[in-house]
Amino acid sequence: MAIITMREAISQALWEEMERDPKVFILGEEVGVWGGTYAVTKGFLDHFGPERVRDTPISEAAIIGAAIGSALNGLRPVAELMTINFAFVAMDHIVNEAAKLHYMFNGQFRLPMVIRAPSGGGRQLAATHSQTPDAIFAHFPGLKVVVPGTPEDAKGLLKSAIRSDDPVLYIENATVYQQRGEVPDGEFTTPIGKSKVQREGKDVTLVTYSKMVDYSMQAAAQLEKEGIDVEIVDLRSLRPLDMGPVIESFKKTNRAVIAEEGWKSYGVGAEIATRIYEEAFDYLDTPIKRVAQKEVPLPYNRRLEQLALPQVEDIISAVREVLK
């Protein structure tokens, strides 16, 4: 397998799907001449041309509206938003049109579209540009929400998202583009809506996704030195949500920690914990612990920002606590 960055994995997936299917095209702010805010589409304009790599005005409502119209007419748009925080500007298009049109018209319309959006804090972009609102979008039926945590899944899930006939919000954490990992050679896809055990263990189940997969792996490596064996379950998709591997793991370990970058209140961790309580309460040996961002708008100051965000040490502390 090749060892590449998350950025390269996403770029490869886009390139390969555009080569495979002429109906796939990219649109967004600075995706063409500039090559994308995080350089994911660098070189695409020269190769595929301006008809398939379209720079747009600074209007997220226009970007998503155009993507919806294109998808309804048989194309497969991949709309890039500079940050998921700007998705709020296009919220009506995303949750009242893209997510609902197939259902409201009894399946007569399909919307094969992808919205790519960087999420999360850690780049000193301040409170309005550093949010992790994954749970908000996962709340709406009809919209698939994908959250890769490794380069392999970043590539495989994006290829599956582009081939899907449903609208998919593909969320990339903005701080992991340089994260490296093995990616299979040749053609492959990763199924949407399937969780994966990224590390096997027997003492505690650690449920996580996106950036927190890497943090969880770091925590598990340190805890292993103390004789603590952590099993890590990567959700990979928030809607549809696959609880099978989570419940199976919990029935083995009887303890769980959930790590997410978003705020704890009304978050992904709350949903996962409730599902475990509902589906596997009899296996519970100790209360479930959640690791999440502090309940404040994220500060600009570097030190304060890092204090507010969940860290590897927070995951380690939570695991130790459930094993007391």
**Residues with catalytic function:** 60, 129
In 3D space, the residue among 52, 46, 38 whose CA is nearest the CA of residue 8 turns out to be 38
Amino acid at site 283? Y
In 3D space, the residue among 300, 282, 285 whose CA is nearest the CA of residue 253 turns out to be 285
How far, in Å, CA of 264 to CA of 156, rounded?
A: 29
Per-residue DSSP letter, 282: G
Per-residue DSSP letter, 281: G
Cβ neighbours of residue 127 closer than 8 Å, sequence gap 6 or more: 297, 298, 299, 300
Sign of the C-alpha dihedral, residues 48, 49, 51, 55?
A: positive
How far, in Å, CA of 269 to CA of 291, rounded?
A: 8
First to last CA, the chain: 40
For residues 208-240, b (16+ Cβ closer than 10 Å) or e, as one string? bbbbbbbbbbebbeebeeeebebbbbbbbbbbe
Cβ neighbours of residue 65 closer than 8 Å, sequence gap 6 or more: 90, 93
Cβ neighbours of residue 198 closer than 8 Å, sequence gap 6 or more: 149, 150, 213, 216, 217, 232, 233, 234
